[in-house]
């Protein structure tokens, strides 16, 4: 019984793709992710709903197929239910796929918590010729069964009614238990008797459930029992029981238990389901004939990816331009409105320059996420993983790893976030560690600039070689990591291929927005902070005396213009030259310049001087900042990658050669990810240790390869 002020706690549990998240959204109105890709909901999500003066707090548990302790999702789900004891568990069951879904239901019922089954997508089941007698099913399972249609918001009120009435009904009917057979039941009873003497230890664990888990050899529960005073006796009994049952029935207990569960389910289903007409093959079958076709599958996949990237960049161009002009409008306005000085410089160069540079990528990122949402919500992503598993497996990764790696060509931040689809922690960490080498969009401006300066005829090929190098490094690093830090094979590929669905526009938008928001928030927090630091390092200490008196030189130029010695154009170009030389000198004098000089001896074997050193350091803020910094350091003022004067400066600098340039490109490709990516890396890997490892080994690899290339090049005379 709950008082009016304390809400009913209701947990939603169900298989991936059962429509759980859609139902959660319908009930709470909360905006969050609806996916069609197995394992999309990994976090616990909460929401509130008020129904007839009852407050209900809903918890969206991760999608699971079972309650064994073999995946994070399963452990999260089962621990939540056992430890938090929700008032009711609503088990969302896909009606068109009843048997498999009820496998989880039988285990939820065994936990001894009030369960309500939401028979979801009952319309789809009917259209497949599956008619379910919900009343009979409810009687057979011993729990209320409420038909719902998630995407049409049907059955929601009835479901809420059922939750409230089940809660207010003290004597909920005791659901029938799955009968595991005479021999099994005897052993279960024996173990139960040993356990219930210490019943209080279990904190609501049903002795029968614990006995079953012990027979299944569940390590988590075993640990729990080991804390009991007579644990030895119990575990000994379990061991003999398991051996006895296995010799008697001739199979492992795990297998027997799952067989008996399915036996119970089949019995219930054969009574409650009537099939009208044959199970006709639906549209999914026809689509799958092409999409996972051994020959056609890969080209279709490649085509879709090509389309996705082209759309992302083509459609993103216009909004990118708007943001760019918006940012430059604000900075122009600010620099004219504010008196020249430190404040104006901080706001314009530091904050707006830094954050604006990151915001510019927002349209691309949103479009990329939108495309990914389409691939996920239609059900294609699982097919793509299926098709790619063959190749990825050879490399030593999981079929799903290609998704984050592919996104990595766009931006490393969402790519790291995408690694979440990998259930196995080792697979996820390896994918995170190598996704870094997929050359992201922000590194491209650097390549364009450098290649334009040194290989104007061949820029495209050189850039392509850098991309290929990134992929090769990623593949080799998977192998190296598998042999050293993460020994063993990748987790076996077992994946549901969910039925194809037409996603709703709303769910696509929610999906896109949730991920884009994370990126945007990063721009407002971490990147803002680092931008200010970078600005500080490049501004202070301020240089008082310059090699030439630029102020008076500029003054002179104005006088020359007034006296007609030079034209207006000549004057403007003189003034901007002076300004650029001044800022170059300032930078050299600043902390950043000193840091560049400080690391110069370290990077000298790579062919770099202190100016490239500053450029590399500033790339930590964001990779595209490298270009802007080079513009400042080489004293050519505001630049982009197409800047002719910067190119000319680079190409004509006696210190640089194509060899230095290539060594620099390799370094930029491989060294530590930018700060935004690092922040996400921390969140996704969950450990600072991995972040430091990533930082050190990527930068070490960049150093090593650049070193080898530069030194070997020098040996064979390519200076």
Partner 1 sequence: MNISSLFTSRSPRAIKANGDKLVLSDARVGQTYILVGLDAGHKLREKIASMGLNSGARFTIIANSGHGPVGLEVRQTRLGIGRGMATKIRVREVDEG
Q: What gap in Å lies between CA 560 and CA 430, rounded to an integer? A: 64
Hey, how many other C-beta atoms are within 10 angstroms of the C-beta on 214?
A: 25
Which of 41, 66, 206, 698 binds partner 1 (CB under 8 A)? It is: 66
**332 is written with which tokens?**
């122009």
Beta pairing partners, 51: 54
Which of 230, 259, 514, 609 binds partner 1 (CB under 8 A)? It is: 259
Closer residue to partner 1, CB minimum distance, 16 or 613: 16
Q: Is residue 126 a contact residue for partner 1 (CB under 8 A)?
A: no
Q: Is residue 186 a contact residue for partner 1 (CB under 8 A)?
A: no
Q: Is residue 689 a contact residue for partner 1 (CB under 8 A)?
A: no
Which of 123, 133, 161, 496 binds partner 1 (CB under 8 A)? It is: 496
Which of 127, 226, 229, 255 binds partner 1 (CB under 8 A)? It is: 255
Q: Is residue 91 a contact residue for partner 1 (CB under 8 A)?
A: no
Contact positions with partner 1 (CB under 8 A) in 293-322:
293-295
Which of 358, 365, 387, 622 binds partner 1 (CB under 8 A)? It is: 387
Which of 3, 279, 487, 568 binds partner 1 (CB under 8 A)? It is: 279
Size of the site for partner 1 (CB under 8 A): 47
Site string for partner 1, 26-65 (x = CB under 8 A): ---------------------------------------x
Q: Which stretch binds partner 1 (CB under 8 A): 141-149, 493-501, 510-518, 610-618?
A: 493-501
Contact positions with partner 1 (CB under 8 A) in 460-489:
489
Closer residue to partner 1, CB minimum distance, 482 or 571: 482
Q: What gap in Å lies between CA 187 and CA 181, rounded to an integer? A: 10
Q: Is residue 386 a contact residue for partner 1 (CB under 8 A)?
A: yes
Which of 183, 288, 324, 600 binds partner 1 (CB under 8 A)? It is: 288
**118 is written with which tokens?**
């939401």
Closer residue to partner 1, CB minimum distance, 263 or 637: 263
Closer residue to partner 1, CB minimum distance, 100 or 485: 100
Q: Is residue 231 a contact residue for partner 1 (CB under 8 A)?
A: no
* DSSP run (H or E) holding 240: helix 231-249
Indicate the length of the chain as a whole number.
719
Q: What gap in Å lies between CA 551 and CA 572, rounded to an integer? A: 14
Q: Is residue 275 a contact residue for partner 1 (CB under 8 A)?
A: no
Closer residue to partner 1, CB minimum distance, 125 or 534: 125
What is the SS3 string spanning 614-648?
HHHHHCCCCCCHHHHHHHHHCCCCCCCCCCHHHHH
Q: How far apart are the first and last CA of the chain?
A: 82
**41 is written with which tokens?**
């909901």
Q: What's the closest the beta carbon of residue 117 comes to partner 1, in angstroms?
A: 17
Which of 57, 136, 183, 262 binds partner 1 (CB under 8 A)? It is: 262
Nearest to 389 by CA among 484, 298, 296, 481: 298
Asked if residue 234 has a cis previous peptide bond (ω within 30° of 0), the answer is no
Which of 341, 492, 601, 654 binds partner 1 (CB under 8 A)? It is: 492
Q: What gap in Å lies between CA 495 and CA 559, rounded to an integer? A: 76
Site string for partner 1, 208-227 (x = CB under 8 A): --------xx----------
Contact positions with partner 1 (CB under 8 A) in 499-518:
499
Q: Give the position of tokens 């919900």.
A: 134
Provide the 3-class DSSP secondary structure of residue 120: strand
Asked if residue 584 has a cis previous peptide bond (ω within 30° of 0), the answer is no
Strands 8-14 and 88-94: parallel
Which of 123, 186, 246, 252 binds partner 1 (CB under 8 A)? It is: 252
- Report DSSP state, residue 59: E
Site string for partner 1, 392-411 (x = CB under 8 A): -x-----x------------
Say if residues 276 and 141 touch (Cβ distance below 8 Å).
Answer: no
Q: What gap in Å lies between CA 268 and CA 139, rounded to an integer? A: 10
Nearest to 686 by CA among 419, 358, 372: 419
Q: What's the closest the beta carbon of residue 296 comes to partner 1, in angstroms?
A: 11
Q: What gap in Å lies between CA 622 and CA 702, rounded to an integer? A: 17
Q: Is residue 283 a contact residue for partner 1 (CB under 8 A)?
A: no
Q: What gap in Å lies between CA 682 and CA 694, rounded to an integer? A: 10
Closer residue to partner 1, CB minimum distance, 21 or 97: 97
Give per-residue burial for 147-169: e unless 16+ CB within 10 Å, then b: bbbbbeebbbeebbebbbebbee
Q: Is residue 157 a contact residue for partner 1 (CB under 8 A)?
A: no
Binding site for partner 1 (CB under 8 A): 65-66, 68, 70-71, 96-100, 103-104, 128, 216-217, 251-252, 254-255, 258-259, 262, 279, 284-285, 288, 292-295, 382, 385-387, 389-390, 393, 399, 489, 492-499
């Amino acid at each position: 019984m709950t008082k009016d002020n304390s809400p009913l706690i209701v947990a939603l549990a169900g298989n991936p793709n059962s429509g759980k998240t859609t139902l959660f959204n319908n009930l709470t109105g909360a905006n969050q992710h609806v996916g069609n890709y197995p394992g999309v909901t990994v976090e616990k999500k909460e929401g509130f709903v008020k129904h007839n003066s009852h407050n209900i707090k809903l918890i969206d548990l991760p999608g699971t197929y079972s309650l064994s302790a073999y995946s994070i999702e399963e452990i999260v789900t089962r621990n939540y239910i056992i430890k938090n004891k929700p008032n009711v568990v609503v088990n969302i069951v896909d009606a068109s796929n009843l048997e498999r879904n009820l496998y989880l239901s039988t285990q939820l019922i065994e936990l001894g918590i009030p369960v309500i089954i939401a028979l979801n997508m009952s319309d789809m089941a009917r259209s497949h010729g599956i008619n379910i007698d919900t009343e009979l099913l409810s009687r057979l399972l011993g729990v209320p069964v409420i038909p719902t249609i998630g995407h049409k918001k049907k059955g929601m009120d009835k479901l809420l009614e059922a939750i409230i009435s089940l809660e207010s009904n003290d004597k909920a009917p005791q659901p029938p238990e799955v009968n595991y057979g005479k021999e099994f039941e005897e052993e279960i009873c024996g173990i139960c008797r040993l356990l219930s003497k210490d019943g209080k230890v279990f904190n609501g664990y049903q002795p029968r459930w614990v006995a079953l888990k012990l027979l299944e050899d569940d390590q988590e529960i075993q640990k729990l029992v080991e804390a009991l005073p007579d644990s030895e006796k119990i575990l000994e009994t379990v061991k003999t029981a398991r051996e006895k049952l296995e010799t008697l029935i001739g199979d492992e207990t795990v297998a027997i238990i799952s067989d008996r569960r399915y036996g119970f389910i089949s019995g219930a289903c054969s009574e409650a389901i009537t099939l009208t007409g044959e199970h006709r093959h639906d549209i999914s079958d026809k689509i799958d004939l092409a999409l996972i076709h051994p020959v056609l599958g890969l080209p279709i996949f490649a085509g879709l990816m090509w389309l996705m990237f082209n759309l992302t960049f083509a459609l993103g161009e216009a909004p990118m331009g708007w943001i760019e002009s918006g940012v430059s409008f604000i900075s122009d306005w600010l620099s004219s409105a504010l008196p020249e000085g430190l404040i104006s410089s901080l706001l314009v160069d530091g904050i707006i320059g830094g954050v604006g540079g990151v915001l510019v990528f927002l349209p691309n990122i949103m479009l990329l996420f939108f495309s990914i949402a389409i691939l996920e919500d239609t059900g294609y992503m699982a097919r793509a993983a299926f098709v790619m598993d063959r190749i990825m497996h050879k490399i030593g990764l999981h079929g799903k790893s290609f998704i984050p790696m592919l996104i990595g060509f766009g931006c490393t931040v969402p790519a790291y976030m995408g690694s979440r689809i990998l259930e196995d922690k080792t697979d996820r960490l390896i994918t995170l560690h190598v996704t870094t080498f997929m050359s992201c969009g922000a590194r491209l401006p650097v390549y364009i600039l450098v290649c334009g300066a040194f290989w104007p005829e061949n820029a495209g090929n050189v850039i392509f070689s850098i991309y290929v190098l990134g992929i090769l490094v990623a593949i080799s690093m998977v192998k190296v990591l598998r042999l050293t830090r993460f020994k063993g094979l990748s987790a076996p590929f077992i994946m549901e291929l969910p039925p194809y669905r037409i996603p709703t526009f709303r769910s696509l938008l929610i999906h896109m927005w949730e991920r884009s928001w994370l990126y945007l928030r990063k721009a407002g927090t971490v990147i803002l902070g680092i931008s200010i630091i970078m600005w500080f390092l490049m501004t202070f200490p301020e240089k008082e005396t310059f090699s030439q008196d630029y102020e008076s030189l500029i003054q002179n130029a104005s006088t020359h213009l007034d006296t007609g010695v030079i034209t207006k154009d000549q004057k403007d170009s003189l003034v901007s030259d002076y300004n650029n030389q001044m800022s170059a000198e300032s930078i050299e004098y600043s902390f950043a310049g000193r840091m560049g000089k400080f690391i110069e001896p370290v990077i000298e074997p790579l062919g770099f001087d202190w100016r490239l050193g500053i450029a590399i350091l500033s790339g930590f803020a964001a990779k595209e900042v490298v270009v802007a910094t080079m513009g400042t350091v080489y004293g050519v003022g505001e630049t982009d990658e197409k800047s002719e004067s910067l190119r000319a400066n680079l190409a004509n600098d006696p210190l640089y050669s194509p060899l230095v340039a290539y060594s620099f490109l390799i370094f930029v490709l491989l060294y530590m990810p930018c700060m935004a990516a690092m922040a996400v890396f921390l969140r996704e890997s969950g450990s600072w240790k991995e972040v430091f490892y990533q930082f050190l080994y990527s930068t070490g690899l960049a150093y090593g390869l650049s070193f080898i290339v530069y030194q070997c090049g020098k040996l064979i005379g390519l200076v």
